[in-house]
Amino acid sequence: MLRRSGAWIAFILGAVFLGATIPAPVQADPLYPWPDPDPFYSAPADLGVLNPGDVVRTRRIDTWMYANSDGWQIAFRSTNSAGHPIVAVTTVLLPRGVANPPLVSYQAIVNSLGTKCAPSHSLFNLELQESPGLYLGLQRGWAVSVPDHLGPTGAYGAAKLGGMITLDSVRALQRVAELGLTHSPVALAGYSGGGMASAWAAALAPTYAPELKLDAVVAGGIPADLEQMALGLGFNPHPGFGLAFAAAIGLEREYPEQLPISSQLNATGLWLREWMSNECRRFLLFHGAFRSAGQLAASTSLMASSGAHQVLRENSLRYYEGVPTAPLYLWHGTLDGLTPFDSIAETAHRYCAAGARLTFVPYEISEHMTTAVVGFPDAYEYVAARFRGEPAPTRC
């Protein structure tokens, strides 16, 4: 999910290991991001009567950064972690001159809290590091869709949410006849946080979107056990603490009752929360660098609650019992110090035992993002083979 900040969830559990409770917490509600001022992102009055994946509105966009492509944005109805309807958005790039292209839904790494940082914006403002990688699909003649999988509240860290939004984005694209994607083969792809959203979509699909045919899902560097990551990271000042703190804010937005993070902050923590609440990756990293939970927490009481642990497990693929039915390709660094290998390996072995069509590829690499670069070429070859109709292999 992040290169320098595998501690992204550490703030949430940090209070467990702090030595003492300092001043009493200030009662504070979650701080949500500024709503996007563009009315395209707003929820219609009848949102509650729409079904997941129903199209709310569409528009053509300028794809100046992506040569030989045409772009659309689709607003659609999705579902949050509490089961309530929300509006989400995806951006799709269509290769010019290709009728009815295959579709790859690419879930990006979005380490941010502000609505301005979502892919529908960051694809065009140089915030999204992976933007050049979209050409890997476009040059093959594939349509590439990039959903705003953190949802309208920037719920950074909410993995299950990302899976549902991803599935609903594909449903929506298939319902817009002008795109020519109604009967196209479909693949999901992503790495780290994007791999987490993709893998969750694969696991949820049999129950959340059973009518949706996924021809391939490729995902790497997946944070498969948030609880394990938190406990293994330590709580000293960390260069990536800004993203750790951001994930705490993001999860509180999605689970305000189970994770009342804001009520556990001291004055410094509340100030930093407000300063970061609408910002993107670079800002979060710079202004949170070498801070720690101990500097910001006013109370250690939160993690005595079972609700907080439940949230972490609810968003950990390792503990979700569902098994993907789509052909699945997973890759991971065996020495990755940020996203532990054993949690995804255990998940993969469980999938295999249940009969999943899985190819699981370990790499003896320790640096998190290097594994992305090494693994994507073979992952996209896997997608291409499924698009050609070749049977999916099993390699557990």
Stretch 53-72: mean pLDDT: 96
> What is the pLDDT at residue 16?
36
pLDDT tens-digit series, residues 89-135: 999 999 999 999 999 999 999 999 999 999 999 999 888 888 888 99
What percent of the chain is predicted at pLDDT more than 90? 76
- The fold of 1-36+96-396 is Rossmann fold (3.40.50)
pLDDT tens-digit series, residues 170-224: 999 999 999 999 999 999 999 999 999 999 999 999 999 999 999 999 999 999 9
Any idea what DSSP says for residue 236?
Answer: S
Number of H helices, E strands in the chain: 13, 9
> What is the pLDDT at residue 279?
94
> What is the pLDDT at residue 232?
62
What percent of the chain is predicted at pLDDT more than 70? 90
Which tokens is 149 given?
């999988």
- Report how far residue 233's alpha carbon sits from residue 331's, in angstroms, rounded to the nearest whole number: 22
**CB-hemisphere CA count at 13 Å for 280?**
15
> What is the pLDDT at residue 23?
44
pLDDT band at 27 (very low <50, low <70, confident <90, very high): low
> What is the pLDDT at residue 20?
33
Query: Are 129 and 181 a contacting pair, CB within 8 Å?
Result: no
Higher pLDDT, 306 or 313: 313
Which tokens is 393 given?
């292999």
Domain ranges for the chain, please list them.
1-36+96-396
Query: Residue 296 above 80 pLDDT?
Result: yes
Task: Determine phi and psi for 359, rounding to 5 degrees.
Answer: -110, 120
> What is the pLDDT at residue 265?
92
Query: Residue 302 above 70 pLDDT?
Result: no
Query: Are 339 and 222 a contacting pair, CB within 8 Å?
Result: yes
Single-letter code of the amino acid located at 297: A
User: Tokens 């995806």 correspond to what residue?
Assistant: 90
pLDDT tens-digit series, residues 66-85: 999 999 999 999 999 999 99
Helix (H) or strand (E) holding 342: helix 341-353
pLDDT tens-digit series, residues 222-244: 999 988 877 765 567 878 788 88
